[in-house]
Structure 1
Amino acid sequence: MRKPYSRSAPFVLDDAAAELVDRYWRAANYLSVGQIYLLDNPLLREPLKPEHIKPRLLGHWGTTPGLNFIYAHLNRVIRAHDLEMIYICGPGHGGPGMVANTYLEGSYSEIYPEVSEDVAGMRKLFRQFSFPGGIPSHAAPETPGSIHEGGELGYALAHAFGAAFDDPDLIVACVVGDGEAETGPLAASWHSNKFLNPARDGVVLPILHLNGYKIANPTVLGRMSDEDLRSLFSGYGYDPLFVEGAEPFAMHRHMAATLEQALQDIHAIQQHWRNGGTDNTCPRWPMIVLRSPKGWTGPKEVDGKMVENFWRSHQVPVANCREDGNHRKILEDWMRSYAPEELFDENGRLKQELRALAPVGARRMGANPHANGGLLRRELKTPAIEDYAVAVERPGATTAQSTKILGQYLRDILLLNQSHANFRVFGPDETESNRLGSVFEVTDRVWMEEIRPYDVQLGRNGRVMEVLSEHLCQGWLEGYLLTGRHGFFSCYEAFIHIVDSMFNQHAKWLKVSRELAWRRPISSLTYLLTSHVWRQDHNGFSHQDPGFVDLVANKKADIVRIYPPPDANSLLWVADHCLKTYDRINVIVAGKQPEPQWLAMEEAVRHCEAGIAIWKWASNEGNSGEPDVVMACAGDVPTMETLAAVDLLRRHIPELQIRVVNVVDLLALQSREQHPHGLPDDVFDRMFTTARPVIFAYHGYPYLIHRLTYKRTNHDNLHVRGFIEEGTTTTPFDMTVLNELDRYHLAIEAISRIPGLLEKAAHVVEALRAKLDEHGRYVREHGEDMPEVRDWKWEH
């Protein structure tokens, strides 16, 4: 149980306690410098020699002493109040500090026993940092206690709030660097306080670390006055508390008192809300603005140039320590200034009185299970997809909105898991637009600002997270997943590109964490991309871009999956499957508009389990062995247009032998050597043939299909049609015509590619081209598609 806070008087850190905290901070600083510079002689028991220095000096010092300072003080309050706390390190390359502190508290050596708590272990600790075969310079999956990849700036605060949702006892200390604070995603993240409910959620304590400089320039926030910063963050809805200075002992006392005040304020807000207090406005949470010198406690000058409190301390303040004796002397004096003999015993172990400052067991921030979320993960309860099945008595005879059916399934997941509070739906103001509105039958959108009497579907306890920032939705979901929960992210297809880089970073995190036995699996990140390229009736060219899957396909094969289900029952199977997976990123592409339904549930299950299949009911190849042409498709609109093209071909050239292949697991097109879902070559060859033309209608950019299949035997006969960057605000069918993905172009392509057929069927091609001309005239006169297109049904 958390120990109660006393509010009787301001907290004062006494001299003895300040001395101990300072020594602990010095120990972390010493280990941080050692990681950047040293190969050997870890405790400086002899003068530094060139061979003790790394040949390549890589790492970042400037932000690190501030991070170490914060870590030491968080340790103190964790012990004092028995807090459940994790530390998110926003400043990019703060890795030396994160590694140093987890080593000091003992969690690092527990995970990596070879990096032992002695001289030999310290030598390994130093050697491995930014060294071939070692660890990165930033807080990475290899770093205990981290759920945040420090290689890219902007996402720390969103991750922190995602971690705090639905975890009422958790405090997430989130350090935001002043360089990071200049990024767009981070600027939007301050608004996350409008979505945090004190009654049921944990809390985020933002610590804005202002050391004044980024790589080679001042920072914007670092140059702002305290008055302006107070106005800025008060406007965001926070109560900013300032800690400023450079003299260590004054700063220790100030930081300790400020942290106590922040925790008292947090406790008061939570008690008010958890004891039945209700306010029609957001609570004003505390945050800390910490101003400290960049490169604090490091060299003040090198070669006559200012270093401490300036951008030259950002990376490696003394750069030529192997070759330059003067530089080596500066480094040695710098490291000895921390008095390592006062910090470590003869064996190289942190002295006992300092070890006693760190929390113990799972209270250590490097060992907290929330930072290894798979330890806390519960399996998601899901309903049977058969309960939502669309009845399909005959292919194409039924019309339904696939994502609307999925919304009913998601609604019931929310119901089934409400007692665990471990599932949320995320999206940028599009849940209803994407036809997932059934979820609002059982929950609201989270909203902690004023709720007015005429507002609908807004509530303090909602489980739908909507904010018009794809960055925030992604960051919240990542933090939620990384701390052991489940979620679902729906987005307009064109605008998921906004989080391309966030996707990259999460994919890299998963790739590395899967290789670490101590990192337990977390739930997969699942996207639904809808309102897609082929149905932008109200928006047009700006909303037409299916290229996110091209980026996704770049990642390691066992990390990503891409699914374009052709109808509602297939979408149900795919979503159900994706939500049960772990350590992956799943991308589902499905339209929200009414569309033909092709497969009964039993058929959809078989099809999705196979990933790729011949649709025998749509084919007419008989028993002749091989067809004249393979008509392949992936995606809902391409599937419909392919079947309409097959219908045209069968009516105009009934003797033509046609095979229809549908792809629902896109990466199964790769070989088995490239992807675990890939079809074996012999199976692929039997399905797509080794010499017949294949006309492939694809949802996205055509080159991806070529890229996935380039090693296949029949690749030279593969002719792909997809989005070719033609678009506007127009009718659904006209969009396919503009990009030559429509039924007429597909049928003409098939006739043109079958050897000898074009000469025999020239009149068919002429008739099909006439239909394209007729369409062009009709749609521009009437503003809608021709009745024979609009009302087309599969009749075979």
Structure 2
Amino acid sequence: MQLRNNLPNTPEISTEELTLIDRYWRAANYLSVGQIYLLDNPLLKEPLKPEHIKSRLLGHWGTTPGLNFIYAHLNRMIRNRDLSMIYVCGPGHGGPGMVASTYLEGTYSEIYPDISEDAEGMRKLFRQFSFPGGIPSHAAPETPGSIHEGGELGYALVHAYGAAFDNPNLIVACVVGDGEAETGPLSASWQSNKFLNPARDGAVLPILHLNGYKIANPTLLGRMTDEDIEHLFRGHGYEPFFVEGHEPADMHRQMAAAFETVFDRIRTIQAEARDGTVSEGFPRWPMIVFRSPKGWTGPKEVDGKKVEGFWRAHQVPVSGCREDDKHRKVLEDWMRSYNPDDLFDANGRLKEELRALSPGGERRMGANPHANGGLLRKELIVPDIRDYAVPVKTRGADMVQTTEILGKYLRDVMKRNDANSNFRIFGPDETESNRLGNVFEVTDRVWMEKIEPYDVHLSRDGRVMEVLSEHLCQGWLEGYLLTGRHGLFSCYEAFIHIIDSMFNQHAKWLKVSSELPWRKPVSSLNYLLTSHVWRQDHNGFSHQDPGFLDLVANKKADIVRIYLPPDANTLLWIGDHCLKTWDRVNVIVAGKQPEPQWLTMDEAIRHCEAGIGIWDWAGNEDGAVEPDVVMACAGDVPTLETLAAVCLLRDAIPELSIRVVNVVDLLALQSQDQHPHGLSDEMFDGLFTTDRPVIFAYHGYPYLIHRLTYKRTNHQNIHVRGFIEEGTTTTPFDMTVLNELDRFHLAIEAIERVPGLKDKAGSVIAMLEDKLAEHTRYVREHGEDMPEIRDWKWKTSKTVG
């Protein structure tokens, strides 16, 4: 079938060259089948026997021959045009193809010398695949050239665009499977072309791989007509070129011509943007629509049932090869159909004329340094956080929007790194809302669509990425980080859950990568979660969920960090620290509303470096004996309510000895054997005592604190208050009351937990309960918090220091 979008003067590709590419493709297919099936006899020097076959057949064949076909043709373009290109494999279960292709180009054996380029190395290559002690069945961190964890579908294209931003000389070839194309994140990812600036960024070449079937059903796009597909992607702003058919010779010629056309298009788009010929609007980038049979070149039928071109080719097309002679014969005929003697020499080495088809050195897609981004990573140039310090002369006296202070720091990070083009801020339409708007003093939001005269902070050269899709923000940032750059993702706390699964996959990637010496460290993925659960005054219950922290805490301890700064100076230290780290996921939760400031910058630095500590100025213990009660807090609103509760208790029961402990690094609550930042038992007991009641006001769901401290000596005396799934559109203080995290409930619990105190302080409890009732009446009548709540200040006349 002809290309629907043929350009004139497409260079003729010789039959000899296409024959060589076909042989290379057959070699990749042969290696892919061998990985799924064989333990031994890799070159079929003898007939297959049961002991040559794996007892457990795992892997995915159906998408693999198409991936190998594309890889072979991309090699030709890289070699002929000296391109810097990486390959993002959306159908990640096609891992056999990624491994086979990087093995053929020599990268795999360079990284894993034990997998040598000979018959013994091929045997080990086959044996390790989906085998205990070996490698996964999908494209994974272990796979050279990969920046994309293929175990979960939906993220390939957004990763590709993230990799292309600020990489002007890079082309990212991204294969999108038609099953993957049905996912929500992938469907949104097509819009990423509206954010790609050809003057400054690299290019993404989407290749939609239509093989028609998922695990057991047709795909939606696979059943659409070419006309409908063309309309769909033209509507998205692409120029689609079709390569489709079944006969290899024809398909090779089509693909070679299509690639000549689309790479010419990419070169023209970039040249016109970079020399100023075109300065407005986003270009219509090319893409390939590649229709090929599922399980192409595999068995046509097995046991009289259709396999090639059907969903039965998806995983293991012929499954009884070890115990069934007929099935084993099918497998052997299938592998011999690739004619291995025509591909490999007697020692199992790829023949020289085929080796010459791969690019050399770092031009090989498996060896491109952008796919091992730590090789390219440069440290950020950051300002001194002291330049942004909030003066604290009287504790809690001044009300400051904490994230606005961080926004000033981020503005200057952006300014200092503008020439390096290695730092971006990502968020779903909330940069200004989250009080980070100071960054717009030095940059804008990137926008490639039409810009109206009345638009604000939109430009083609902006470095703030805003789109109302958390999936796109997360995926862009992941691709950006994995190719060696830095970034920050700012999001409303409740809606970060949208990317729970993407976070999971990235954390798994970091965990595995950290165990691979050849994978160099990449910059940490930094979340700033604001507009948080306790300050959703006009949004209500739908915006009230702090549970992302529970998910994060499930991950390997060396990968994740959770920070809960109580004020601006602690947020500055944490933000600065997180931007300097690598191979981590850092989660920072900080409110954007005006709130009291507690620590000077010097105090904040000491407190954050420790991660947890006693606030001597807030308690009234004399130090000679253990306090009667420990009032602990983690989070800005819990800290405020704890300090207010301490004031109530000190006024009403002055003889009560109180210790205040603030936690800023949440995972420090774990023991040293559970987390690198964990406290020793001795240090933990020194803070929380071994036998005194601890009233712990926590930002999130109470269970997490119990989970983190369950091994501690005094765990049975730790009583946690946090979000208990109560909420609505109400006042800030009423939110704390609904969840019993307010100062009155905290003070009552302290009285009830100190042995013998409840009987002596019954009148105090009654007073506190009356305050709760008064509050309820007041807010329902006036629609705002009581003046004594709104105007509350920390009771001290002393200046700090």
Q: TM-score range by the shorter chain?
A: over 0.9
Amino acid at match of 1:200: R
C-alpha contact 1:64 1:94 (8 A) present in aligned 2 = yes
Q: How does 1:238-637 map to 2 (within 5 A)?
A: 238-637=238-637
C-alpha displacement at 1:282, in angstroms? 1.3
Partner amino acid, structure 2, of 1:189? S
Mapped to 1, the partners of 2:167 and 2:92 lie a distance apart of 26
1:564 Cα deviation after fit: 0.4
Shift in Å at residue 795 of structure 1? 1.2
Letter in 2 for 1:420: N
Query: How far apart, in 1, do the equivalents of 2:686 and 2:769 lie?
Result: 33
Between the aligned partners of 1:11 and 1:764, the Cα distance in structure 2 is: 90
Q: What are the Cα deviations for residues 484-509 of structure 1, in whole angstroms up to 9, with x where unaligned?
A: 00000000000000000000000000
The reply on whether 1:71 has 2:71 as its aligned counterpart is yes
Please give the alpha-carbon distance, in whole angstroms, between the structure 2 residues aligned to 1:11 and 1:146.
Answer: 31
Shift of residue 319, structure 1, vs aligned partner: 0.3
Partner secondary structure for residue 617 of structure 1: coil
* 2: CA distance, partners of 1:681 / 1:507: 28
1:18-67 deviation per Cα after TM superposition (whole angstroms, max 9, x unaligned): 10000000000000000000000000000000000000000000000000
Deviation at residue 105 of structure 1 after TM alignment: 0.2
- What is the identity, as a one-letter code, of the residue corresponding to 1:319? S
Aligned length: 790
Letter matched to residue 619 of structure 1 = G
Alignment-derived partner of residue 130 in structure 2:
130
Cα deviation per residue 1:74-130 (whole Å; 9 max; x = unaligned)?
000000000000000001301000000000000000000000000000000000000
Aligned to 2:652: 652
User: In the aligned structure 2, how far is the partner of 1:451 from the partner of 1:283?
Assistant: 15
Find the residue that maps to 1:255 and give its secondary structure: helix
Q: Distance in 2 between matches of 1:686 and 1:159?
A: 46
Give, in angstroms, the shift of residue 263 of structure 1.
Answer: 0.4
CA distance in 2, matches of 1:278, 1:592: 40
The residue type equivalent to 1:316 in the other structure is: V
CA distance in 1, matches of 2:748, 2:473: 44
Task: For 1:93 and 1:577, locate their aligned partners in 2 and report how far apart those are by CA, in whole Å.
Answer: 37
Q: 1:624: Cα distance to partner?
A: 3.0
Which runs of 5 or more structure 1 residues have no equivalent in the other structure?
1-6
Deviation at 1:181, TM superposition (A): 0.1
Report the Cα distance in structure 2 between the residues aligned to 1:760 and 1:502, rounded to whole angstroms.
53
**What is the one-letter code of the residue matched to 1:295?**
G
**Alpha-carbon deviation of 1:280?**
2.9
**Counterpart mapping for 1:708-727 below 5 A:** 708-727=708-727
Q: Which amino acid aligns with 1:195?
A: F
Worse-superposed segment, 12-21 or 168-177: 12-21
Query: 3-state SS of the aligned residue for 1:372?
Result: helix
Is 1:215 the counterpart of 2:215? The answer is yes
Provide the residue aligned with 2:737 in structure 1: 737
Matched, 1:676 2:676: yes
Which string of whole-angstrom CA distances, capped at 9 and with x for unpartnered residues, describes residues 468-497 of structure 1?
Answer: 000000000000000000000000000000
Can you list the C-alpha shifts for 1:503-538, whole angstroms capped at 9, x where unaligned?
000000000000000000000000000000000011
1:412-447 CA-to-partner distances (Å, cap 9, x unmatched) read 000000010000000000000000000001000000
Deviations 1:7-26 (A, max 9, x none): 97112221100100000000
- One-letter amino acid of the counterpart of residue 168, structure 1: P
Match of 2:191 in 1: 191
The one-letter code matched in structure 2 to 1:598 is W
Query: Counterpart in 1 of 2:799?
Result: none
1:739-789 Cα shifts (integer Å, max 9, x gaps): 000000000000000000000000000000000000000000000000000
Is there any run of 5+ residues in structure 2 with no aligned partner, and where? 1-6, 797-801
The answer to whether residue 156 in structure 2 is matched with residue 156 in structure 1 is yes
Alpha-carbon contact 1:321-1:331 (below 8 Å) kept: yes
**Paired residue secondary structure (2:617):** helix
Q: Distance in 1 between matches of 2:765 and 2:325?
A: 82
Q: Which amino acid aligns with 1:417?
A: N
Q: How much has 1:542 moved relative to structure 2?
A: 0.2
2:65 and 2:352 map into 1 onto residues whose CA distance is 22
Q: Which secondary structure state, in structure 2, belongs to the residue aligned with residue 207 of structure 1? A: strand
TM-score, length-scaled by structure 1:
0.99
1:50 equivalent in structure 2:
50
Letter in 2 for 1:678: G
Residue correspondence of structure 1 range 171-190 to structure 2 within 5 A: 171-190=171-190
Q: For residues 411 and 780 of structure 2, what CA distance do their matches in structure 1 show? A: 41
Deviation by residue 1:699-730 (Cα, 9 ceiling, x = unmatched): 00000000000000000000000000000000
Q: Distance in 2 between matches of 1:760 and 1:439?
A: 55
Which amino acid is 1:532 matched to?
Answer: H
Q: Distance in 2 between matches of 1:474 and 1:35?
A: 33
Structure 2: distance between partners of 1:637 and 1:381:
32
1:465 is paired with a residue whose SS is strand
Corresponding residue number in structure 1 for 2:3: none
Residue 699 (1) aligns with residue 699 (2):
yes
Matched, 1:784 2:784: yes
1:92 equivalent to 2:118? Answer no
| Cα distance in structure 2, aligned partners of 1:325 and 1:626 | 78
Separation in 1 of the partners of 2:13 and 2:294?
Answer: 25
Pick closer, same or farther for the CA change 1:8–1:306 going to 2, 3 Å: closer
What is the one-letter code of the residue matched to 1:690? T
After the TM superposition, which of the residue ranges 58-67 and 272-281 deviates more from structure 2? 272-281
Corresponding letter in the other structure for 1:655: E
TM-score w.r.t. length of structure 2: 0.98
Match of 1:793 in 2: 793
Distance in 2, matches of 1:11 and 1:128, equals 42
Residue type at the aligned position of 1:770: D
Give CA deviations for 1:578-610 in whole Å, capped at 9, x if unaligned.
Answer: 000000000000000000000000000000000
Please give the secondary structure, in 1, of the residue aligned with 2:733: helix
- For the 8 Å contact 1:11–1:256, the answer to whether it is kept is no
**Counterpart Cα distance in 2 of 1:750 and 1:140:** 51
Amino acid of the structure 2 residue aligned with 1:476: W
Q: Does 1:641 align with 2:652?
A: no
Q: Distance in 2 between matches of 1:8 and 1:623?
A: 87
Q: 1:12–1:256: 8 Å Cα contact kept in structure 2? A: no
The superposition leaves residues 361-380 of structure 1 with CA deviations (integer Å, 9 ceiling, x where unpaired) of: 00000000000000000001
Moved over 2 A (4+): 277-280
**1:196 & 1:92 partners in 2: Cα distance?**
24
Amino acid at match of 2:238: Y
Q: Distance in 1 between matches of 2:397 and 2:279?
A: 53
2:529 alignment partner, SS class: strand
Q: Corresponding residue for 1:756? A: 756
Deviations 1:657-714 (A, max 9, x none): 0000000000000000100100000010011000000000000000000000000000
Query: How far apart are the structure 2 equivalents of 1:477 and 1:615?
Result: 37
CA distance in 2, matches of 1:279, 1:681: 63
The sequence identity of aligned pairs, in percent, is: 79
Q: Distance in 1 between matches of 2:680 and 2:617?
A: 24
